């Protein structure tokens, strides 16, 4: 792997880690309040989550260190946000995005 600028690889790994945490946040957190959740808002959040997932998938194909950063980011995000997702929902249950399944 050719590094153009010093520190660029570390910056890319940090970006992949952060994007992985963001995907987990979208999967396990209430995105919008139940009263304010419109179909258009839910659709936009779903599209952003899926798009970010595809970007991560493409990044993981480039390097083993990127794969490790993505896995660690998903693990950190899961641990950080699983407690909030395990609380019972108040109001309409449609406000929570369902996790993406394979």
**Contacting residues for 67 by C-beta, under 8 A, at least 6 apart:** 60
Q: Quick check: is 45 in a domain?
A: yes
Domain-located, residue 52: yes
Distance, CA of 44 to CA of 48 (rounded, Å): 6
Share of the chain above pLDDT 70, in %: 67
**What tens digit of pLDDT does each residue of 10-25 get?**
888 999 999 998 888 8
The pLDDT value given to residue 27: 74
For residue 36, tell me if it sits in a domain.
Answer: yes
pLDDT of residue 92: 53
Q: Has residue 58 got a pLDDT over 70? A: yes
Query: Residue 96 falls within a domain, yes or no?
Result: no
Residue 83: predicted pLDDT = 58
What was the pLDDT predicted at 96? 53
Q: Could you give the number of structural domains in the chain?
A: 1
pTM for the model stands at: 0.65
In a domain, 92, yes or no: no
On average, the pLDDT of the chain sits at 75
Please name the residue that has the structure tokens 């779903």.
Answer: 46
Residue-range definition of the domain harbouring residue 51? 8-87
Go through the chain and tell me how many residues it has: 102
- Asked whether residue 97 is assigned to any structural domain, the reply reads no
In the chain, count of helices (H) and strands (E)? 3, 0
Report yes or no on 98 lying in a domain: no
DSSP letters spanning 52-92: HHHHHHHHHTT-HHHHHHHHHHHHHHHHHHHHHHHSPP-S-
Does residue 58 lie in a domain region? yes
């Amino acid at each position: 792997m050719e590094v153009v600028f010093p520190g660029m690889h570390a910056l890319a790994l940090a970006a992949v880690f952060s994007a992985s945490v963001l995907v987990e946040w979208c999967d396990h957190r209430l995105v919008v309040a139940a009263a304010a959740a419109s179909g258009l808002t839910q659709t936009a959040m779903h599209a952003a989550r899926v798009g970010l997932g595809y970007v991560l998938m493409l990044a993981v194909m480039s390097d083993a260190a990127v794969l490790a950063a993505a896995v660690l980011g998903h693990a950190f995000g899961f641990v950080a946000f699983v407690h909030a997702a395990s609380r019972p929902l108040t109001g309409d249950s449609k406000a929570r995005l369902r996790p993406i399944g394979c």
